[in-house]
């Protein structure tokens, strides 16, 4: 089977509650996205991935779904959604839905009926008796909670939740669950959506509920990571649902190495089109993401090269709603925010694979400027803070951990203008707007010919129109302490991408000094010296 998306596609992720608010309640909404379509089209985007807009009690900002076929009232109506699909289509933009099927909300009808004792729905979830007053097993949980919660009033029964207590895991051993999900997918495909981003898709199938071997993080994972049952389900969803619509699927896959990753998106197996792996997000951590260390660019280069080489086709991303902003990870960023953002645009648009741009990345938004925990909303951050407190980690360190890693760093409202509320809202924003919005915003960027937004547009346009960038092979040419260089090649034409991933001016690697046809420099550079965070693109046959 082949890719169900054009190799020229450039996808934009929207986190709806943070994008644009049109009724002053401080929450972004679908109307706000419709109003922003010109900005998105102008950027050159071909697809929008919408983080969940389904009905939800928002324990995990919509990743806890109470009704897969209804729109969250605060976000708008189904009519608004249909209008979004139609208006996007007019601009050549396809809508991609977030498919969260590892778990539902505990407020989903199915769970309520399970609680009411309906056998059919009990079998939709993973409910188990404890052993002699103990939990059913020793597994871990993604949000640092206990993964088992008492099932209703029962004294001895528990349900499994690998995320929050309000996110009970579905039982993928039950064919009824698979049938329900097929029906849900068709419901959205019939409304015109063109693909899905599948949330934590490689953990949906639990092949046993036995104790796991004890691990620092996520004990028990050998029983639910990328199991054969998961592959089977993905192949069936593709054959029965995606293929007939020509729709595509990108999977968010946790704890995968290149071999596991390849199995999940190998075209010959017919499961996913591409995957989001995490390894390059982990280049500045020790053991777990809450312990950050210096970002070493060379580690990023090595990781990217490894995945670029191992997989036929990559989902390329540096930011999303779960990760700190990438440019904020550079310790030597200094006042090079804009330059670093441009360099990342160059890097992202010249790697092999489908590029995903996260809202705000196109204007170089940085991490939230939260002062203390009371300004942070994310459930994960609060849980981790609590856990760290339990472990006796001092308050100052606890806060540092959260400040640098919180998912809210990327969830701060989109900065549209220098107006109060950043043009995001006229009301009180649900999450604190970054104080830099007076200078970092779309309106200001629109006026800067040489600005960050202009450079993203330029790189996206090139990525879409250049066959070598869209389809060419990848090979790494140079990985140094600061500079990354790689080639993309098609039919004898060779493009060379050069990124200075540091705040230092450095020499162009010797082997590249013969390159004469400089197509692009993000800093109007030339010659053998790269400026801080400079990106260059050469056309050059000679360098090997």
Catalytic residues: 199, 252
Build a one-symbol-per-residue string for 123-162: x at contacts with ligand TEU by CB under 6 A, - elsewhere.
Answer: -------------------x--------------------
Among 5, 10, 21, 452, binds Ca ion (CB under 5 A): 21
Q: Per CB under 6 A, does 60 bind ligand TEU?
A: yes
DSSP 356: E
For residue 471, give the H/E element and its range: helix 467-471
Site for ligand TEU in 325-384 (CB under 6 A): 380
Is residue 174 exposed (0-12), middle (13-18) or buried (19+ Cβ within 10 Å)?
Answer: middle
Question: CB 54 → ligand TEU: shortest distance, Å?
Answer: 12
Residue 100 binds what, of Ca ion, ligand TEU, none (CB under 5 to 8 Å, by partner type)? ligand TEU
Q: How much helix, strand and coil, in percent to the nearest 5, is found in the chain?
A: 35, 20, 45
Nearest residue to 488 (alpha-carbon basis) of 5, 7, 2, 3: 7
Q: Per CB under 5 A, does 71 bind Ca ion?
A: no
Nearest residue to 219 (alpha-carbon basis) of 169, 292, 277, 146: 146
Site for Ca ion in 72-111 (CB under 5 A): none
Alpha-carbon distance of 328 to 337, in angstroms, equals 8
Whether residue 5 contacts residue 58, with contact meaning beta carbons closer than 8 Å, is answered with no
DSSP 28: -
Of 252 and 273, the one with the shorter C-beta distance to ligand TEU is 252
Q: Per CB under 6 A, does 163 bind ligand TEU?
A: yes
Q: Per CB under 5 A, does 23 bind Ca ion?
A: yes
Site for ligand TEU in 292-321 (CB under 6 A): 321
Q: Per CB under 5 A, does 225 bind Ca ion?
A: no
Question: CB 479 → ligand TEU: shortest distance, Å?
Answer: 26
Of 17 and 321, the one with the shorter C-beta distance to ligand TEU is 321
Q: Per CB under 5 A, does 58 bind Ca ion?
A: no
Question: CB 360 → ligand TEU: shortest distance, Å?
Answer: 16
Among 1, 41, 85, 254, binds ligand TEU (CB under 6 A): 254
Of 141 and 497, the one with the shorter C-beta distance to ligand TEU is 141
Of 14 and 442, the one with the shorter C-beta distance to ligand TEU is 14
Among 145, 199, 279, 339, binds ligand TEU (CB under 6 A): 199
Alpha-carbon distance of 125 to 166, in angstroms, equals 13
Question: CB 294 → ligand TEU: shortest distance, Å?
Answer: 21
DSSP 195: E
Among 100, 275, 442, 453, binds ligand TEU (CB under 6 A): 100
Q: Per CB under 5 A, does 207 bind Ca ion?
A: no
Whether residue 285 contacts residue 262, with contact meaning beta carbons closer than 8 Å, is answered with no
Strands (DSSP E) along 118-224, which ranges? 127-129, 148-150, 157-160, 195-198
DSSP 205: -
Phi, psi of 193 (to 5 degrees): -75, 155
Could you tell me which residues come within 8 angstroms of residue 405 by beta carbon, excluding any fewer than 6 positions away? Answer: 289, 290, 292, 324, 381, 384
Instruction: Number of residues interacting with ligand TEU: please give it, by CB under 6 A.
Output: 13
Distance of CA 425 to the CA centre of its chain: 24
Q: Per CB under 6 A, does 416 bind ligand TEU?
A: no
Build a one-symbol-per-residue string for 373-392: x at contacts with ligand TEU by CB under 6 A, - elsewhere.
Answer: -------x------------
Of 122 and 321, the one with the shorter C-beta distance to ligand TEU is 321
Question: CB 428 → Ca ion: shortest distance, Å?
Answer: 11
Q: Is residue 48 helix, strand or coil?
A: strand
Nearest residue to 320 (alpha-carbon basis) of 301, 300, 348: 348
What is the DSSP pairing of strand 94-99 with strand 47-50? Answer: parallel
Is residue 185 exposed (0-12), middle (13-18) or buried (19+ Cβ within 10 Å)?
Answer: buried
Please report, as ranges, the residues that interact with Ca ion according to CB under 5 A.
21, 23, 25, 27, 29
By CB under 6 A, name the binding residues for ligand TEU: 60, 63, 100, 142, 163, 199-200, 252, 254, 321-322, 380, 407
């Amino acid at each position: 089977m082949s890719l169900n998306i054009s190799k020229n596609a450039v996808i934009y992720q929207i986190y709806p509650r943070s994008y644009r608010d049109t009724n002053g309640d401080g929450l972004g909404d679908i109307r706000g996205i419709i109003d922003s379509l010109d900005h998105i089209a102008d950027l050159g985007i071909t697809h929008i991935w919408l983080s969940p807009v389904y009905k939800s009690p928002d324990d995990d900002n919509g990743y806890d779904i109470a009704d897969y076929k209804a729109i969250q009232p605060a976000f708008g109506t189904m009519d608004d959604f249909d209008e979004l699909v139609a208006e996007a289509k007019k601009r050549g933009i396809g809508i991609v839905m977030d498919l969260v099927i590892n778990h539902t909300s505990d407020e989903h009808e199915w769970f309520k009926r399970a609680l009411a004792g309906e056998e059919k729905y009990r079998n939709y979830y993973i409910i188990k008796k404890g052993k002699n007053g103990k939990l059913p097993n020793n597994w871990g949980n993604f949000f640092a909670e206990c993964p088992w919660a008492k099932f209703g009033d029962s004294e001895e029964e528990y349900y499994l939740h690998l995320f929050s207590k309000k996110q009970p895991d579905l039982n993928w051993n039950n064919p009824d669950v698979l049938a329900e999900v097929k029906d849900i997918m068709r419901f959205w495909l019939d409304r015109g959506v063109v693909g899905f981003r599948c949330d934590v898709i490689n953990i949906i199938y639990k092949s046993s509920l036995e104790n796991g071997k004890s691990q620092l993080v996520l004990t028990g994972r050998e029983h639910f990571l990328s199991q054969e049952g998961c592959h089977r389900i993905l192949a069936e969803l593709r054959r029965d649902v995606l293929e007939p619509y020509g729709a595509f699927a990108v999977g968010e896959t946790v704890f995968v190495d290149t071999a596991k990753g390849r199995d999940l998106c190998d075209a010959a197996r017919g499961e996913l089109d591409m995957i989001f792996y995490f390894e390059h997000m982990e280049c500045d951590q020790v053991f777990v993401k809450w312990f950050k260390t210096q970002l070493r660019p060379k580690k990023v280069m090595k990781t990217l090269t490894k995945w670029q080489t191992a997989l036929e086709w990559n989902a390329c991303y540096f930011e999303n709603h779960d990760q700190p902003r990438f440019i904020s990870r550079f310790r030597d960023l200094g006042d090079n925010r804009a330059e670093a953002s441009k360099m990342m645009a160059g890097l992202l648009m010249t790697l092999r694979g489908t590029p995903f741009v996260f809202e705000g990345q196109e204007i170089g938004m940085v991490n939230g400027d939260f002062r203390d925990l009371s300004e942070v909303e994310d459930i994960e951050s609060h849980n981790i803070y609590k856990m760290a407190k339990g472990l006796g980690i001092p308050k100052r360190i606890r806060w540092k951990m959260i400040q640098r890693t919180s998912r809210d760093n990327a969830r701060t409202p989109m900065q549209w203008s220098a107006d109060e509320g950043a043009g995001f809202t006229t009301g009180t924003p649900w999450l604190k707007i970054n104080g830099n919005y007076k200078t970092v915003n779309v309106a200001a960027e629109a006026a800067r010919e040489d600005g960050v937004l202009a450079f993203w547009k330029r790189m996206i346009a090139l990525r879409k129109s250049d066959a070598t960038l869209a389809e060419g092979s990848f090979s790494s040419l140079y990985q140094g302490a600061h500079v990354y260089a790689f080639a993309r090649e098609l039919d004898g034409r060779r493009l060379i991408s050069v990124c200075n991933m540091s705040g230092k001016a450095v020499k162009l690697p010797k082997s590249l000094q013969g390159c004469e046809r400089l197509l692009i420099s993000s800093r109007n550079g030339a010659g053998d010296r790269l400026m801080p965070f400079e990106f260059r693109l050469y056309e050059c046959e000679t360098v090997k």
